[in-house]
Amino acid sequence: MTLTPTTTPGTSAPPPAPGPRLADGRGELSDSVIAALTSGAPPVYAPGTVLKADPWGEDLQLALYLLYEPHYRGFEGVDDAREWDPDLLRLRRTLEDRFLHALHAELSDGPRSVEDALAPLLVEPVDLSDSLSHHLETEGELWQLREYAALRSLYHLKEADPHVWVIPRLTGRAKAAMVAIEYDEFGAGHADRIHARLFADLMTDLDLDPAYGRYVEQAPASLLATVNLMSLFGLHRALRGALVGHFACVEVTSSPGSRRLANAMRRCGAGPAAEHFYAEHVEADAVHEQVVRHEVIGGLLADEPGLEPDVAFGCAATVLLEDRLATHIRTAWTRGASALRTPLPGHVTTA
């Protein structure tokens, strides 16, 4: 087999696009991670700092986010080799343990079976008053849609990436079904249909910067926790069941929520690309929901029945963090304030 060179003889390949810029720290832990990433030295922090840190707080969640990103696109000015730096990995593990302990404590009475975890999600609630997507569909304003998109960009611009890590850890039915769903998520062979690209187009319609990681500075801890959760589950083979539970929860809840958000984008005149992103998910994720329940989960538990509590935990943890985020956003908006740490340019709060 002859390989055709992708560059002209005598020239070098173009350098990779630089990663996003590092955010400013929010406390001792995140400050120490930033200093370590930029200097190449080990992170320095006082003994006991991790144990005293709020597992839901800004400092710990930002520190975790910064430690996970080298496994994705890295950061501008940070050596790619730091991805596997043992000192950074050691700190990451202690932060992960703190985060996982908090999740298990919150879910001590949570579901232990897949049926118990998914059953509430398969029925549309009669009362949607607490639903963020329902609020946006019926009375949301354009500035709220822009804030919602800016926050969600930290997830959607890496959409499906952490779920890919589970594929080598699956076999048979589960692996085949997971690959089929991910093939759709990555555009079915068409770069312009990759879901992350579609979300970038949505951001452009909303006059937002579509650059990867652009809005981490504005993202509160409740949003960072939702992104960190899928990275945590994705990077650990021991948590493969939890990652499948996370994936199932996302797919099961996506279609009705996407329908409401497509309506919201249309009602507010957000633009065709903004509406298309969610309209695309209505039908696609309705199909994915069936495949993930019957083939991905069904195949995984046929092979490894002992993972059922982990799948249920992954689903419940996803619901927990999504509810915490929705509460944060709705509380801010009810006050007329921004849900971001700093408002988008041009927005004036009424708080």
pLDDT tens for each residue of the chain, 351 residues long:
334 434 444 444 445 566 899 999 999 999 999 999 999 999 999 989 999 999 999 999 999 999 999 999 999 999 999 999 999 999 999 999 999 999 999 999 999 999 999 999 988 765 677 789 999 999 999 999 999 999 999 999 998 899 999 999 999 999 999 999 999 999 999 999 999 999 999 999 999 999 999 999 999 999 999 999 999 999 999 999 999 999 999 999 888 899 999 999 999 999 999 999 999 888 776 778 889 999 999 999 999 999 999 999 999 999 999 999 999 999 999 999 999 999 998 765 554
Rounded to two decimals, the pTM is: 0.92
Cα–Cα distance measured from residue 316 to residue 107, given in angstroms and rounded to the nearest whole number: 7
Task: Please answer whether residues 169 and 240 qualify as being in contact, where contact means their C-beta atoms are separated by less than 8 angstroms.
Answer: yes
Residue 91: name the closest of 72, 64, 70 by CA: 64
Token representation of residue 209? 């910067």
> At what angle are helices 221-235 and 240-267 packed, to 10 degrees?
140
Neighbours of 14 (CB within 10 A): 8
Nearest to 325, CA basis, from 132, 61, 111? 132
- pLDDT for the residue numbered 126: 57
Distance (Å, rounded) from C-alpha 25 to C-alpha 58? Answer: 9
Q: Where are the alpha helices (DSSP H) in 23-131?
A: 28-39, 49-52, 58-68, 86-106, 114-118
Query: For residues 346 and 146, is the Cβ–Cβ distance under 8 A?
Result: no
**Per-residue pLDDT, 254:** 87
Sign of CA dihedral 308, 310, 312, 315: negative
Sign of CA dihedral 335, 340, 342, 346: negative
3-class DSSP assignment, residue 252:
helix
Give the number of C-alpha atoms closer than 13 A to the C-alpha of residue 301, restricted to the C-beta side.
18
CA distance 317 to 154: 18
Position 289 scores a pLDDT of 86
What integer pLDDT is reported at residue 132 of this predicted model? 93
